[in-house]
């Protein structure tokens, strides 16, 4: 054997996984091994990959999830099934907007300076760049996905699915607009859901404040947020609290403001918290809002959308909340109405995307009634149509579902699916999948689209069937719906899995998958889940380069 032939026949001294893996993946794609045939006689097996948010590079949590899906897809193919493993990614409105706004801040500009059109151009460039990165990462991970069916929640066909769903809900009478208390992010200037709040322990001060009572001395209340007292419209006590029984039905006077406050009895008041007497601020606390609704108390909105105080005529107007707090405390002390202060540890809600402290406030929003969809989802669960692995997570799902309230589906953002509602200059409302040319009520051609966008989870809820072509009756929809399995992390059981089940039953007449698999979380160094938008993720490509997939 010549030296040349000998060198060609020898195996490399070190295995080069990147060269080998890239070669095999290219061959698999060239042979169309991942492309599913809707007309195949083989038994079908379908999985729609949970669309990663297009906020940045995938991290190790996505790598874990991809490996689970890919293992199942390959196993099913080896068992002779026609497997559709459908890929895609999500626009993730609030998270992506935050990421891009941070970029703009580093460049010394803002989205307002760019304007809506300029911001939209920036977003499109981001989609193209990051979408390509996500696809590249999934290929490097060896994911045997059908790339001919790649979906994005902002693709024109998917957008049409979202608009169709909104109009269908509206025509059923389930979508309405109303002012209610919401979780408000002052940074994003948008409502967010309960499920998008992170709770953190804060060391604060509990202030004990004397409220005069007309013709009957005074009542002392305790609060961590004295600045919100400026919007108080009542005082509440527990009906079983003998200390305050004689005050029920009387009137207190709000310090610093002079507003008269009815004193009411309500079972929601905890006798053992503070003094047992509660200042009621229906405009800035969810429980107070409920108490106010039960007793017909006035709602005063004491805060602007940027988190500053909204108290015209008072010296605190326009101040940031924390500055107003100190001014209020100083003034109460000067008037002899501050009884005492105590250290107090409690949980404070933060926006899980930008980490701003959440302010509950009254905002007019779009809402989706959930009663009928909830009941049908509960019926499906009782009939055993969805299996949970591990089984214990079914309780998480059912507990949330049973307590479900109407869904705030509107967001006050620049990025996302615009609500398909149009207002004509004569005050009529037109709800349409396609932009209307004129108002059907009066013929006016001067129509303005509602500025709100839809909650990202509204569009994600349609994923198992919108990706297959719904509302059109496509070959893929007939062949591959319902899908077989959804595998995800526990923190989005309520945000995503439950809503896919409800919309699947509503629009397709059956649950979107038969099995839900909950996998563990991959955590960052701070003990929280890895996050692309927060920059705490570890890029799997670094480990692939070193060790191979």
Residue 400 in any domain: the answer is no
Tell me the CATH number at 466: 3.40.50.620
Clarify whether residues 94 and 227 are in a common domain. Answer: no
pLDDT of residue 59: 85
The model carries a pTM of: 0.90
Q: Which of 326, 359, 392 is the last residue of a domain?
A: 359
Would strands 515-519 and 387-389 be described as parallel, antiparallel, or unpaired?
A: parallel
Q: Does the bond joining 182 to the residue before it have cis omega, within 30 degrees of 0?
A: no
- Report phi then psi at 60, rounded to 5: -65, -25
Residues 150 and 247 in one domain: no
Q: What is the CATH number of the domain that holds 208?
A: 3.90.740.10
Q: How far is Cα 224 from Cα 205, in angstroms, rounded to an integer? A: 6
Same-domain check for residues 147 and 251: no
Shared domain check, 345 and 470: no
Q: How far apart are CA 152 and CA 54, in angstroms?
A: 9
- Looking at the structure, do residues 231 and 345 belong to the same domain, yes or no? yes
Residue 397 resides in a domain: no
Q: How far apart (Å, rounded) are the C-alpha atoms in residues 353 and 356?
A: 8
CB 457 within 8 A of CB 468: no
Q: Are residues 293 and 329 in the same domain?
A: yes
**What is the number of H-type helices and E-type strands within the chain?**
15, 23
Q: Which of 175, 192, 170 is nearest to 183 (CA)?
A: 192
Clarify whether residues 207 and 352 are in a common domain: yes
Last residue of a domain, one of 322, 343, 359: 359
Q: How many domains does the chain have?
A: 2
Residue 391 lies in a domain: no
Asked, for residue 112, whether it belongs to a domain, the answer is: yes
Pairing outcome for strands 338-351 and 197-212: antiparallel
Domain boundaries, position 338: 195-359
In this structure, the answer to whether residues 337 and 249 fall within a common structural domain is: yes
Q: Is 287 found in the same domain as 140?
A: no
CA-based nearest residue to 322, from 335, 342, 303? 303
**Is 175 inside a domain boundary?**
no
125 and 224 belong to one structural domain: no
**HSE toward the beta carbon, residue 293, CA cutoff 13 A:** 12
- What is the spatial distance between Cα 461 and Cα 463, in angstroms, rounded to a whole number? 6
pLDDT the model gives residue 23: 83
Q: What H or E segment, with its residue span, contains residue 120?
A: helix 111-140
Closest CA to 161 of 365, 458, 359: 458
The reported pLDDT for the residue numbered 4 is 53
**How far, in Å, are 74, 78, 486, 512 from residue 45 at the CA level?**
11, 12, 12, 13
Buried/exposed 500-530: b ≥16 CB within 10 Å, e otherwise: bbbbbbbbbeebbbeebbbbeebebeeeebb
Whether residue 427 lies inside any domain: the answer is no
Q: Specify whether 144 is located in the same domain as 226.
A: no
Per-residue pLDDT, 189 = 92
Domain end position, chosen among 310, 339, 359: 359
Q: Which residues of the chain have pLDDT under 50?
A: 1
Q: Are residues 203 and 303 in the same domain?
A: yes
Residue 503 in domain: yes
- Please tell me the predicted confidence (pLDDT) of residue 9: 58
Domain assignment of residue 183, yes or no: no
């Amino acid at each position: 054997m010549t030296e040349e032939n000998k060198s060609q026949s020898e195996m490399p001294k070190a295995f080069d996984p990147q060269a080998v893996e890239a070669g095999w993946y290219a061959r698999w794609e060239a042979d169309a091994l991942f492309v599913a045939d809707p007309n195949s006689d083989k038994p079908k097996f379908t999985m729609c990959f949970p669309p990663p948010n297009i906020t940045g590079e995938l991290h190790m949590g996505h790598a874990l999830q991809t490996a689970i899906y890919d293992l199942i897809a390959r196993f099913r193919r080896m068992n002779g099934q026609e497997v559709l493993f459908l890929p895609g990614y999500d626009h993730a409105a609030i998270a992506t907007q935050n990421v891009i706004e941070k970029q703009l801040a580093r460049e010394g500009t803002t989205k307002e300076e760019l304007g809506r059109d300029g911001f939209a151009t920036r977003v499109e460039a981001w989609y193209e760049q990051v979408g390509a990165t996500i696809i590249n990462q999934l290929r490097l991970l060896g994911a045997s996905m059908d790339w001919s069916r790649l979906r994005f929640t902002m693709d024109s066909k998917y957008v049409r699915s979202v608009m169709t769903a909104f109009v269908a809900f509206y025509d059923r009478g389930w979508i309405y607009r109303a002012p209610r208390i919401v979780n408000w992010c002052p940074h994003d200037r948008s409502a967010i859901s309960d499920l998008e709040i992170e709770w953190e322990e804060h060391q604060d001060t509990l202030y004990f404040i004397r409220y005069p009572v007309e013709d009957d001395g005074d009542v002392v209340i305790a609060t961590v947020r004295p600045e919100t007292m400026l919007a108080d419209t009542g005082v509440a006590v527990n009906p079983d609290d003998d200390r305050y029984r004689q005050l029920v039905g009387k009137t207190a006077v709000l310090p610093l403001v002079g507003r008269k406050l009815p004193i009411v009895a309500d079972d929601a008041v905890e006798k053992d918290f503070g003094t047992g007497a509660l200042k009621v601020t229906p405009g800035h606390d969810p429980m107070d809002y409920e108490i106010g609704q039960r007793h017909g108390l006035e709602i005063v909105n004491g805060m602007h959308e940027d988190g500053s105080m909204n108290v015209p005529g008072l010296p605190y107007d326009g101040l940031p909340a924390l500055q107003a707090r100190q001014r209020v405390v100083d003034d109460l002390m000067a008037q002899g109405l501050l009884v005492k202060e105590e250290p107090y540890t409690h949980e404070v809600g933060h926006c899980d995307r930008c980490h701003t402290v959440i302010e509950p406030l009254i905002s007019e929003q779009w809402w989706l009634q959930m009663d009928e969809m909830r009941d049908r989802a509960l019926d499906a669960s009782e009939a055993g149509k969805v299996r949970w692995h591990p089984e214990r997570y079914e309780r998480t799902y059912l507990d949330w579902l049973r307590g479900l309230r109407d869904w705030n589906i509107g967001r006050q953002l620049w990025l996302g699916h615009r609500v398909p509602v149009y207002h004509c200059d004569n005050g009529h409302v037109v709800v349409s999948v396609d932009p209307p040319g004129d108002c059907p009520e009066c013929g006016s051609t001067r129509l303005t689209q509602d500025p709100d966008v839809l909650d990202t989870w509204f569009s994600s809820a349609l994923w198992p069937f919108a990706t297959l072509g719904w509302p059109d009756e496509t070959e893929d929809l007939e062949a591959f719906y319902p899908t077989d399995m959804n595998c995800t992390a526990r923190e989005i059981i309520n945000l995503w899995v439950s809503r896919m089940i409800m919309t699947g039953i509503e629009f397709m007449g059956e649950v979107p998958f038969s099995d839900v698999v909950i996998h563990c979380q991959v955590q960052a160094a701070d003990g929280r889940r890895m996050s692309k938008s927060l920059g705490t993720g570890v890029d799997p490509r670094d480990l692939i380069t070193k060790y191979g997939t």
